[in-house]
Structure 1
């Protein structure tokens, strides 16, 4: 599918613009269907965006937030995306939003993925908003190059919403939404910052569906146009 680039001078300007765009999409979802859903990514990049979005005037009680991916760690862990969202997005008025986790305190990550799939399948779909990130290795969500379940994660015919991923660059075992669950979001965003990531996304876009970078395959094959928000 096609993509659009939105380039900003700095991260603060990007965060403000993206928060406005996302809040508008969530408001549209609430107006049209009485509820809205958003899946967000973790890491350090989205903190300013989360804080800007949390200040937007919305009927947050009608918004469901979930995570694009998660480490198999409890929400008290400093590496938990759940913790990041709870402390930076689900604050103030936005605390009224429902947060659907991927991690569950069960025997192992596979069991957690099954529970998370059941929870995810009760969220209104397609998502109103999905905000992806990208690592320097071209991974997005937990679609890591060399990941043990990478092809299943990227296959548009995969029926499960959440699967596990182990990869050399991942650290802990991951839980991740599959491509099939996210690729038709009404607003599909890639949020990236840093000069070093620009050549990676440029190469991924040039290579398209044949790219060695998972993000290139995601953008090329998604049903929705990807809005790429980048700042150096």
Structure 2
């Protein structure tokens, strides 16, 4: 396990530092390989970060952005991570970035997995930066401990980059990057705020199996930087 914790006094201080780090990583990717790739997560926590990144000078036309997971809902639905990212990150100066869709017109996430994998294959890999969140049940991306698909998502030998997931403790069918796809990243960040989430993470690391708390599967296998503020 290689977890590095960077703690900040306020969420605003975290956002400022995190945005600077990400821009530096993306600039290096562009300079070194011609394009850079960024995987983000949904939810409320990254909104301020998205907005700050969107106002930052960068060769955004050379950046590919995608999601660690998506709910299988139409764009425009209040639960759509695609809408959240397009409305908060792919704006302003970052409007030139190329957004890679996970969600397609397929009726079911199982039917959309191949298209999502094909889309992801067009991105510069290993991904330059991955930003993960974590739920209070220890899920990350849409690798839910409650789902029948959790072991498939954690399987390092599956050869799949995406998986369809049906959580039993959260609404909506999902599509999620698998553990090996998530780990195929040069820089992995876990973005958390609040004492409760931090304690969930520490308890998971100390006391849970990977299937019980899937976030531990990431922390167990790769260097992860925890960006945390109260």
TM over 0.5: yes
List aligned pairs for 1:158-173, cutoff 5 A: 158-173=158-173
Q: 1:157 to 1:142 in 2, by over 3 A?
A: same
How far apart, CA to CA, are the structure 2 residues paired with 1:207 and 1:21?
A: 31
Structure-2 separation of matches of 1:109 and 1:211 = 22
Aligned to 1:95: 95
Look up the match of 2:195.
195
Q: In 2, are the aligned partners of 1:126 and 1:182 still within 8 Å (CA)? A: no
Q: CA deviation at 1:21?
A: 0.7
Q: Report the CA distance between 1:158 and its aligned residue.
A: 2.1
RMSD across aligned positions (CA)? 1.3
Cα shift at 1:157: 1.5
Q: Is the 8 A contact 1:121 1:161 kept in 2?
A: no
2:181 corresponds in structure 1 to 181
The aligned runs of 1:149-164 (5 Å cut-off) are: 149-164=149-164
Task: Report how far residue 210 of structure 1 moved.
Answer: 5.2
Q: Is the 8 A contact 1:209 1:220 kept in 2?
A: no
| 2:3 is the alignment partner of 1:35 | no
Matching of residues 1-232 of structure 1 within 5 Å: 1-207=1-207, 212-222=212-222, 225-232=223-230
CA shift at 1:211, angstroms? 7.0
**Is the partner of 2:49 in helix, strand or coil?**
helix
- Give deviations 1:174-231, integer Å, cap 9, x for gaps: 0001111111311100001122112111112224765721111221023xx1000111
- Unmatched runs of 5 consecutive residues or more in structure 1: none
Offset from partner CA, 1:40-95 (integer Å, 9 cap, x none): 00011100011111122110000000000000011111110000000110111100
SS across alignment from 2:134:
coil
Please list every run of 5 or more consecutive structure 2 residues that lacks an aligned counterpart in the other structure. Answer: none
Assess, with a 3 A threshold, how the Cα gap between structure 1 residues 49 and 218 changes in structure 2: closer, same or farther.
same
CA shift, 1:8, in A, is 1.1
Q: When the two structures are aligned, how many residues end up with a matched partner?
A: 230
Q: CA 1:127–1:208 in structure 2 vs 1: closer, same or farther (change >3 Å)?
A: farther
